[in-house]
Amino acid sequence: MAASSFTASTIPHPYPFATTTKSSHLLPLSCSFPRNPTPLPSFRLRASSTTVSASAVSTKIEDSRVSGTPSKALPFRVGHGFDLHRLEPGYPLIIGGINIPHDRGCEAHSDGDVLLHCVVDAILGALGLPDIGQIFPDSDPKWKGCASSVFIQESVRLMHEAGYEIGNLDATLILQRPKLSPHKDTFKANLSALLGVDPSVVNIKAKTHEKVDSLGENRSIAAHTVVLLMRK
């Protein structure tokens, strides 16, 4: 049986190394090293002289209009949107552009429409663009009380500018009460009209939160949306 150690003449390099699965450090194999090994090259790291100004890494949206052209043209793009708002007395409950009768509504800078907000974020995300809070910041007074249909129109403009159209869209509303099932067809029709698509590519689901946390205690409302964009 061969010996477990090797001499320098039996190995092509005087420093054989192996890695372990527990660490990325190099560990020497059992071997015999030459008396005067060839020194390993040394490297010195220098800090890069490249500087990046703050303006180069910050996103500044002028009059909320940004370019919708993504960095790479793909045949399909998928985006996910999420939104959540606190429910408080004295506010209207606007969902999908529809005013739903309830004793409380969304506390928000705009009209607080969670469905339209998460649809906008899904489209922007699919295009690789900043989210709705960056393009329409709540620090800007011009968006105070604004109808969320304005945000939908802008996201659709950016989508078409990038050369895409909606393949299909699936949204889930989460609200303990009131029950939203009776309004799903209205949500679907209104959202389809805002997006300029056939209702067959839009799906709306509504769920409670089984009385768990703020959603289940009717202190908040949330929505998720997944959208598929296709090249025109």
pLDDT for 101 equals 94
Cα atoms in the 13 Å half-sphere on the side-chain side of 232 = 7
pLDDT for 59 equals 35
Q: Cα-flanking dihedrals φ and ψ of residue 219, to 5°?
A: -100, -5
- In this prediction, the residues of the chain whose per-residue pLDDT falls under 70 are 1-71
- The domains of the chain, with CATH numbers, are 76-231 (3.30.1330.50)
Q: What is the 3-state secondary structure (H, E, C) of the chain?
A: CCCCCCCHHHCCCCCCEEECCCCCCEEECCCCCCCCCCCCCCCCCCCCCCCCCHHHHCCCCCCCCCCCCCCCCCCEEEEEEEEEEEEECCCCEEECCEEECCCCEECCCCCCCHHHHHHHHHHHHHHCCCCHHHHCCCCCHHHCCCCCHHHHHHHHHHHHHCCEEEEEEEEEEECCCCCCHHHHHHHHHHHHHHHCCCHHHEEEEEECCCCCHHHHCCCEEEEEEEEEEEEC
pLDDT for 71 equals 59
Q: Distance (Å, rounded) from C-alpha 29 to C-alpha 31?
A: 6
Q: Distance (Å, rounded) from C-alpha 205 to C-alpha 65?
A: 31
pLDDT for 68 equals 60
Q: Cα-flanking dihedrals φ and ψ of residue 90, to 5°?
A: 90, 0
Contact 84, 114 (CB under 8 A): yes
Burial annotation 25-36 (CB, 10 A radius, 16+ → b, else e): eeeeeebeeeee
Strand partners, 28: 17
Q: Distance (Å, rounded) from C-alpha 64 to C-alpha 214?
A: 32
